[in-house]
Structure 1
Amino acid sequence: MTGRLYGVGVGPGDPELVTIKAARLIGAADVIAYHSARHGRSIARRIAEPHLTPGQIEEPLVYPVTTETTDHPGGYQGAIDEFYAEAAARLAAHLDAGRDVVVLAEGDPLFYGSYMHMHKRLAHRYPTEVVPGVTSISGASAALGQPLVERDEVLTVLPGTLPRAELARRLADTDSAAVLKLGRTFPDVAGAVADAGREGFYVERATMDGQRTSRLADVDPDSVPYFAIALLPGAVAASIPSDVERVSTGGEVVVVGTGPAGRDWLTPQVAAVLAEADDLVGYGPYLDRVPPNPRQTRHASDNRVEAQRAAHALDLAAAGRTVAVVSGGDPGVFAMAAAVHEVAAQEKYLGVRVRVLPGVTASSAVAAAVGAPLGHDHAVISLSDRLKPWEVVAERLVAAAQADLAIAIYNPRSSARPWQVGAARDLLLEHRAPDTPVILGRDVGGAGERVTITTLAELDPEQVDMRTLVIVGSSTTRVVHRADGPAVYTPRAVRVENELTVINKPC
């Protein structure tokens, strides 16, 4: 039985862009083949290297010529044809011996790839499978942050080796274009773009170390490598500014959530960002949860200056710093993620990279401490009237109560508004039964953890402070007294009669 031939695309350069299937086949193959110039270095092999395994046979397929002249009697094409025939014979010997052969290909194997020459010579003789990969066009478009086509726009892919006049004609006739094979062809490509009355972008070594992006007109022709591409977005797609058109800073802001308490609640993803950051920005008590690192600078501030804190973080990132904005719980739930994005929407910050990493939010932690009171549809509402009037808070409480949703209540009480918990309880009692379960969770996961199960009628505002999360059950929420203590849950289904959902409400 013969071996199987695989043409495997490894993507444009970043090893993390290798597909799961490609990585599996590379690791399992008997023989790994790859093309290279006479210097012996193979970009495809470098990309695939993390997935290679001990004991594999490697077959470097070294071109006898690339762009230089040759004394082969058949000239350049004769030398290349002879090389492909010899390379195919080498791979065929492995296949005949029953060995599976993976031929690595940068980008996609059948998209301007060297693998296609092996495919033409071997695929009709042996079982063959082609595994697609991310193309250089996709990698370059992503590097620019620029879509190439939208709606019914047409994308044309062109080799830079076309004559300048032909290239200009085709560029003028299409909405969007990608021009490959630059290097020494770049002067003619840039001239053709200008002749066609077009403008474009340049991406060098997309997704690799040394990636570079710029406007096409700003490129020094003497600096262009073969692994470069020119992109001309369509008019509709170009309405979205590319990253080249924004101010590129090199820094970034990462908004992270540390969870409700100590380090046990921290995700590995957030821990890695906190370890790598140059600066930590946040409310003082939240920064105190992060172990000190003398390499880092901490910028603590009061809890009421979110916009100023966000602007400070963005200014640091604009200067090239990596900044972690630290929130408790989840940064996207009544925390710093929205504040940072509100400020980052300003024109001067559009070039600053902003990411958000989630954390365990207080409602999830409190719910888990008693069971699953948020196990069905629920609402999350803040009682704070600092950024919205109390009338809006009250309307939302009533709407959630009328919809019979379980409600997680954040920011229930402070020294400036001690009355709101009682007012919220009274509003909810107009729509919920007095024995509706209520959970009060304070400092869950921390040293001062306190969880209380009560009812809506018996809810005592004096048991609630700013560090307490309040969960009010729906009409279906149940308390079960188990051997290990009470558990609270909201069933995942409601009873349906005559195609109507039946929800038990007080009369």
Structure 2
Amino acid sequence: MAGRLFGVGVGPGDPELVTVKAARLIGAAQVVAYHAARHGRSNARAIAEAYLRPGQIEEALIYPVTTEGTDHPGGYQGAIDEFYAESAARLAAHLDAGRDVVVLAEGDPFFYGSYMHMHKRLADRYETTVVPGVTSVSAASAVLGRPLMERDEVLTVLPGTLPPAELAARIEATDSAAIMKLGRTFEGVREALDRAGRLDDAWYVERATTDRERIAHLADVDADSVPYFSVAMLPSRADRESDRTPRVTVVGLGPGDPRWLTPEARDALRQADDLVGYTTYLARLETRKGQTKHASDNRVEAERAAFALDLAKRGRRVAVVSSGDPGVFAMATAVLEVAEDPQWKDVEVRVVPGLTAAQAVASRAGAPLGHDFCVMSLSDRLKPWPVIERRLAATAAADLVIAIYNPASKSRTGQLVRAREVLLEHRSAETPVIVGRDVGGPAESVRVTTLGELDPATVDMRCLLIVGSSQTRVASRADGSTRVFTPRSYPAV
């Protein structure tokens, strides 16, 4: 009768974290096998040593290579495949002889463990039992004293062997993460965390629960000192916010393209219990389970701000959303202004920047904002039109490039007509003008015209205009397109 195969997890390092079942099976086995590097030492055996007994047969499965450098004709993969096949054959000989075989696995046998390669080759021929063990991720979380996830948060376990760009994208998309397989991959992992905007949150845990345990902020770790048996940890975001300070976070969504949403903004949105904002902007966001949207009209900024502050005062995590950057003709000012009322004195207001519409339109056209420029709104709902005219005249006379927000709407059709007249008093009719509409959205269009040819009737509220200075140039390309830029130098007066 054939013996039985056991894949036994022995945990992360502390022998006292070996389960009762694992300890019993290790002591009862006729054969105990374990993987080891060429020096012959095995972490799994060292953990299980207290449970071994005299007279047991030990099978050290020694890797022929530890890095991808080898002279094997099949390369690294060929050498490893041959090793696993030979190891499985050695264990099969014991099983065929009727001996029970325990294969020790550090951590959990099916969690990035070497045992799985034996399992694939033997489980279809022999009775097999897998005994789970405490993983290095659970151990790292425990020694850090920080939870991995809370409520509806998502934990992602990642191999550090992924390319940094892919690793960064996956880190951005999750709440908390554990990154395995460090060692030679450490620099790439650190780069990925930095690109994802999460480096400051990351912790480094080495040989958790052992007498060689080390814990540090990952940003401070010397790459040359990092062994394979270490983990990069991004604990629960909720734990980071565990003080529950009453807070409203005003978040810039950018002009529309989801790729222009910053990692910090995505983080703030994911943490929020409540999303507050103009109906059109909230429609761009997906909600997670437990989140609530509070949509309102675009003309009730003060009321929206007070509502958000009240939610925060009652213990809710609140994100107020704005298109573009919240500090540019948007909700940041409204929230801060309302928050001056003493009733909100204990509510913190945090502003998370976003890509502005002016930047987005400029990038589509070239670099028209390459020299001094100003930003103005033609809306006279909150400031008198005579003030707008004076500012237009002053900026035009100063020869600044002008980014114009809110150029027209259904109820404001005459302002842009008059603005064009004021600008023409100071600027040539040949001055380049860029008209960007819905940039970053599905109906995006960008056209280059001149101040003389600009037709105000073709401009609506979804447009942003950039009026060039006397130095702004339009360059034609071989494919018939144009690029607009303003040189960084300016002629002497």
TM-score band, normalised by the shorter chain? Answer: 0.5 to 0.7
- Report the equivalent of 2:490: 494
Kept in 2, the 8 Å contact 1:372–1:490? The answer is yes
Q: Which of the residues 307, 311, 314 maps onto 1:312?
A: 307
Q: Secondary structure at the match of 1:457?
A: coil
**Structure-to-structure mapping, 1:359-398, within 5 angstroms:** 359-398=354-393
Q: Does 1:430 find its partner at 2:431?
A: no
- Report the equivalent of 1:343: 338
Separation in 2, partners of 1:449, 1:210: 38
Kept in 2, the 8 Å contact 1:262–1:289? The answer is no
Q: 1:49 to 1:373 in 2, by over 3 A?
A: closer
> Structure 2 counterpart of 1:251, which letter?
P
Separation in 2, partners of 1:382, 1:330: 14
Kept in 1, the 8 Å contact 2:437–2:462? The answer is yes
Q: 1:321 to 1:55 in 2, by over 3 A?
A: closer
- Report the equivalent of 1:472: 467
Kept in 1, the 8 Å contact 2:206–2:215? The answer is no
> Structure 1 counterpart of 2:252, which letter?
G
Separation in 2, partners of 1:48, 1:466: 40
User: Matched residues, percent identical?
Assistant: 55
Q: Does 1:274 find its partner at 2:427?
A: no
Kept in 1, the 8 Å contact 2:205–2:215? The answer is no
Separation in 2, partners of 1:486, 1:426: 26
Separation in 2, partners of 1:48, 1:259: 24
Q: 1:476 to 1:322 in 2, by over 3 A?
A: same
> Structure 1 counterpart of 2:386, which letter?
E
Separation in 1, partners of 2:369, 2:145: 41
The Cα shift of 1:401 comes to 0.6
Q: Secondary structure at the match of 1:51?
A: strand
The Cα shift of 1:251 comes to 2.8
**Structure-to-structure mapping, 1:211-226, within 5 angstroms:** none
Q: Does 1:255 find its partner at 2:250?
A: yes
Separation in 1, partners of 2:262, 2:348: 21
Separation in 2, partners of 1:360, 1:48: 24
**Structure-to-structure mapping, 1:34-433, within 5 angstroms:** 50-53=203-206, 250-433=245-428
Q: Deviations over 1:335-366 (max 9, x none)?
A: 00000000011111111011000111100000
| Structure 2: runs of 5 or more not aligned | 1-143, 147-181, 184-199, 217-238
The Cα shift of 1:294 comes to 3.9
Separation in 1, partners of 2:485, 2:285: 33
Q: 1:334 to 1:14 in 2, by over 3 A?
A: farther
The Cα shift of 1:483 comes to 2.2
The count of aligned residue pairs is: 277
Separation in 2, partners of 1:350, 1:459: 48
The Cα shift of 1:49 comes to 10
The Cα shift of 1:264 comes to 1.6
Q: Secondary structure at the match of 1:314?
A: helix
The Cα shift of 1:271 comes to 1.1
Range 51-60 or range 349-358, more displaced = 51-60
Separation in 1, partners of 2:486, 2:207: 53
The Cα shift of 1:211 comes to 9.4
Kept in 1, the 8 Å contact 2:255–2:324? The answer is yes
Q: 1:14 to 1:209 in 2, by over 3 A?
A: farther
Kept in 2, the 8 Å contact 1:383–1:420? The answer is yes
> Structure 1 counterpart of 2:489, which letter?
A
| Structure 1: runs of 5 or more not aligned | 1-12, 16-26, 29-46, 61-101, 105-207, 213-248, 496-500, 503-507
Q: TM-score, normalised by structure 1?
A: 0.51
The Cα shift of 1:488 comes to 0.1
Kept in 1, the 8 Å contact 2:438–2:463? The answer is yes
The Cα shift of 1:292 comes to 3.1
Q: Secondary structure at the match of 1:369?
A: helix
Q: 1:298 to 1:433 in 2, by over 3 A?
A: same
The Cα shift of 1:209 comes to 8.4
Q: Deviations over 1:12-57 (max 9, x none)?
A: x999xxxxxxxxxxx99xxxxxxxxxxxxxxxxxx99933545999
Separation in 2, partners of 1:396, 1:298: 38
Separation in 2, partners of 1:210, 1:281: 20
> Structure 1 counterpart of 2:447, which letter?
T
> Structure 1 counterpart of 2:434, which letter?
I
The Cα shift of 1:305 comes to 0.3
Separation in 2, partners of 1:49, 1:349: 33
Separation in 1, partners of 2:290, 2:242: 28
Kept in 2, the 8 Å contact 1:258–1:327? The answer is yes
Separation in 2, partners of 1:281, 1:308: 11
Cα root mean square deviation, aligned: 3.0
Separation in 1, partners of 2:435, 2:202: 53
The Cα shift of 1:103 comes to 12
Q: Deviations over 1:246-277 (max 9, x none)?
A: xxx73311100111113122111111111121
Q: TM-score, normalised by structure 2?
A: 0.52
Separation in 2, partners of 1:487, 1:318: 49
Separation in 1, partners of 2:359, 2:343: 36
Q: 1:259 to 1:55 in 2, by over 3 A?
A: closer
Q: Which of the residues 456, 460, 467 maps onto 1:461?
A: 456
